[in-house]
Amino acid sequence: MKRREFLKLMTGVAGYFALSDIFHNNSIEAANTNGYHIVLIADLHLPWRSKKFPKTIEGENIFAQKKKMIDNINSWKDAREVALLGDFPARYGNEEEFLAVDKVLNEISLPKYIVIGNHDYAYRDKPSKKGKLKRGTYEERVKKLNAFKERYKMPNFYYSRAVGNYRLLYLAPDTCSNLNVELSQKQLEWIRQEILNHKNGPIIFFCHAPLTNTLKNYSSFVNKPQSVANPENALKEILKYAPKGSLWVSGHTHTPPENESYADDAVNRYNDNLVNIHNPTIDAKHLYTNSLFLYDDRAVVKTFDHKSNMWVEKFTREYFSEF
């Protein structure tokens, strides 16, 4: 079925939510000639992952780098907003970790738009006796998911807004299933309606987890049900009708720029109309962030090296719309 036929068949009105507090007005003027600059920050894991960095001095150095990165981003005069791609707390999502999250988020001077990751809601506040993560019961996960939404005054678990001729969709693991990021049937229907009603430009999907098979199998974790957005088959069918030039922006896999499939369009492409933009974790010794620059006719992705304080030109990519 062609997209035009799909649009004729679909009916209803897209979900629409007013943004408040850390969220700002949901309709922005058209992208200007310099591009509408959105900074992407994934997997903050605050204050730091003690399992990854067991020495206190090492963790404190990682945390200091994160704060320096925030200062750097705050100094960018052309940056308009930040998209935060989930996994804010270090590991458990307990109150101690969220106090560190609150402090850092308050230091970001730009408007912030949030998606939820698995470490934000899925686990119990303390590890098992063997020091392993313990997934909460369904009821505990639901409680934490709701607490996260209330804490950061999100309009809903998932929501949408406009920037010029772009539609921006922020997705959520609202089933609270044993999969890290699974979207509910209600959310899938909402995505269908958003695609139906947006006819004049690309759609940018912000989701904690990437789409399946948009990375090479460089580890035992990637491209597995726990590492991708679910339900895989339903998403693949729905996303066939997204406008060409659309992007799926994700974190979760911690894929660094040094990885060969980090910015390989031949690997990152999904269907023939959409590309997955992978973002590295901010819980690392060498920090990078991606930025989106939205123009009327194209979206540009650029990678910034916060250690060298420079844009890494070899990772710059352009995606043109057909509108």
Residue-wise pLDDT for 20-39, tens only, equals 334 443 334 433 457 999 99
**Average pLDDT of the segment spanning 132-151:** 97
Mean pLDDT of the chain: 89
Half-sphere exposure of 313 (CA within 13 A, CB side): 0
pLDDT exceeds cutoff 60 at 246: yes
Task: Identify the CA nearest to 253 among candidates 214, 291, 280, 235.
Answer: 280
Cβ atoms of 190 and 153 within 8 Å: the answer is: no
Please state which architecture CATH assigns to domain 3-320. Answer: 4-Layer Sandwich (3.60)
pLDDT the model gives residue 58: 83
Using an 8 Å Cβ cutoff, are 146 and 121 in contact? no
d(CA 66, CA 205): 25
C-alpha dihedral, 184 to 185 to 189 to 191, nearest 10°: 30
The H-assigned helical ranges of the chain are 3-9, 56-74, 95-107, 138-151, 185-197, 232-239, 265-268
Does residue 57 or residue 55 have the better pLDDT? Answer: 57
Q: What percent of the chain has pLDDT over 90?
A: 81
Over residues 264-323, the pLDDT tens digits come to: 999 999 999 999 999 999 999 999 999 999 999 999 999 999 999 999 999 999 999 875
Q: Output the pLDDT for position 32.
A: 44
**pLDDT tens figures, 166-206:** 999 999 999 999 999 999 999 999 999 999 999 889 999 99
From CA 29, how far away is CA 49, in angstroms rounded?
Answer: 39
